[in-house]
Amino acid sequence: MSRSEQESLRKNMQPAELVGNEFLVSLWRNDFPILQATVHGVPLAYLDNAATTQKPLSVMDAENYYYRHDNANVHRGIHALSQRATDAFEAARVKVQHLVNAASANEIIFVRGTTEAINLVAQSYGRSFFKAGDEIIVSGMEHHSNIVPWQILCEQSGAILRIIPVNHSGELEFEAYNRLFNQRTRLVAVTHVSNALGTINPVRAMIDLAHIRGVPVLLDGAQAIAHMPVDVQELDCDFYAFSGHKLYGPTGIGVLYAKSALLDIMPPYQGGGDMIRSVSFDGTVYNSIPYKFEAGTPNIAGAIGLGAAVDYLSNIGFDKVTRHEQALLSYATQSVMRVPGVRIIGDALEKTGILSFVLEGVHPHDIGSILDLQGVAIRTGHHCAMPLMKHFGVSATARASFGLYNTKDEVDKLVAAIFHVKEVFGI
């Protein structure tokens, strides 16, 4: 199918799919107590899911149950509670393993979030193996979290960053990517899905291209993990990073997946308890993976909450989630495009439910405030992707981002609120 055919298909797609899903979505909404909230006296339409998602009751209950019944430190105690806490914590690791289809639970490292996962790889893997003049490929659509850790590493090691350019639709330029490789390329670190635009990158093909040259690939999965099935073995990625809170789980917990062969040769990221086998003042023997990378008492409740979030999503099934969010994106794209003066930033063919836009004559910050007063929660600003904003010639955008519980009605509220912005500004 040609690009124009695909575009016309998207534009002509009717919201029939949405109507068909309405009953299911209404059931899912009941699982999220906060969605009943009102703000400024009007019902909340939460369209800021790319920043963080709301939490279902089952996630809150899992954390609550853990603190009420099982709370103890993990991997140390001889007593019953410690055993129960350890079992629950490790069960969460296995749930995450199955979510991303990792070959082993030992390849799942619990961290604070995507940011810490990427910093871990930069400081452990990068700092050990990269030398002055080595090259790291990132893209022009990265979140600052997948730029700054590499810049820090570059300062420390003398390595340099090479940037994959982005085209006018907000897609990576594949041919240019291909040409960036040379003898000094040591790593590709690229986002699976753009947080600012929603673009789904062709990561399978990008990984193949890197592997032909023996270069490992890190994927920033923060914006992908809750919206599509991720199979790290099928992708054959070397590292995959994501946060629990974008997956309907708690904040402060995230995951680094890495191939065990890599984790085995990487030195610890932080020193402390749990990551050692034996310590003496003559030397320390590190624990095996994954514990080698989990210094200190971990976020036990967070991991258990994340496990509950994984269960929640798995019970619904990605087929339903993806279908609903894609239908919502099509409907929202059509509806918002019809508002005179709106320019949508990023119209890649493959997108998740993220709609970034600007409105002629109104700064995104003002759009955000006016929408907020109508109960519509969106994000405005540079979305921690300043190089990408520069590429599109804007300092900021307004961004609506959808989750599984969003509805056609909420999209209609968004559109009505944008019209109200125009009214206030007299345009």
Partner 1 sequence: MNDLRELYQETILDHYRQPRNFCRPAHANCMASGHNPLCGDQVRLYLQLENDVIRNAGFEGSGCAISTASASLLTEAIKGKSKAQALDLMSRFHAMVTGRTSADGMGKLAALAGVCEFPQRVKCATLAWHTMKAALEDVHEAVTTE
Residues that bind partner 1 (CB under 8 A): 40, 362-366, 369-370, 373, 380-382, 389, 395-396, 424-426
Buried b (16+ CB within 10 A) or exposed e, 5-18: eeeeebeebebebb
Nearer to partner 1 by Cβ, of 376 and 404: the residue is 376
Nearer to partner 1 by Cβ, of 113 and 364: the residue is 364
Nearer to partner 1 by Cβ, of 199 and 397: the residue is 397
> Which of these is catalytic: 109, 275, 384, 414?
384
CB of 210 to partner 1, least distance (A): 33
Distance, CA of 398 to CA of 334 (rounded, Å): 16
Distance, CA of 328 to CA of 333 (rounded, Å): 8
Distance, CA of 392 to CA of 73 (rounded, Å): 49
Could you list the beta-strand ranges (E) of 121-236. 135-139, 160-164, 185-191, 217-220
Q: Does the active-site annotation cover 154?
A: no
Whole-angstrom Cα Rg for the chain? 22
Nearer to partner 1 by Cβ, of 276 and 373: the residue is 373
CB of 197 to partner 1, least distance (A): 17
Give yes or no for a contact between 120 and 256, defined as CB atoms under 8 angstroms apart: yes
Strand partners, 240: 219, 257
CB of 395 to partner 1, least distance (A): 3
Distance, CA of 243 to CA of 115 (rounded, Å): 8
CB of 375 to partner 1, least distance (A): 12
Q: Number of C-alpha atoms within 13 angstroms, CB side, residue 178?
A: 7
CB of 223 to partner 1, least distance (A): 20
CB of 266 to partner 1, least distance (A): 33
201 closest CA partner among 228, 162, 238, 239:
228
Structure tokens at 107: 């390849």
> SS3 of 295, please?
coil
Distance, CA of 303 to CA of 310 (rounded, Å): 10
Give yes or no for a contact between 102 and 233, defined as CB atoms under 8 angstroms apart: yes
CB of 364 to partner 1, least distance (A): 7
Nearer to partner 1 by Cβ, of 105 and 373: the residue is 373
Structure tokens at 425: 């500004």
Buried b (16+ CB within 10 A) or exposed e, 211-241: eeeebbbbbbbbbbbbbbbbebeebebbbbb
Nearer to partner 1 by Cβ, of 266 and 398: the residue is 398
Give yes or no for a contact between 172 and 201, defined as CB atoms under 8 angstroms apart: yes
Nearer to partner 1 by Cβ, of 67 and 419: the residue is 419
Give yes or no for a contact between 180 and 129, defined as CB atoms under 8 angstroms apart: no
Q: How far separated are the first and last CA of the chain, in Å rounded?
A: 39
Which amino acids are annotated catalytic? 384
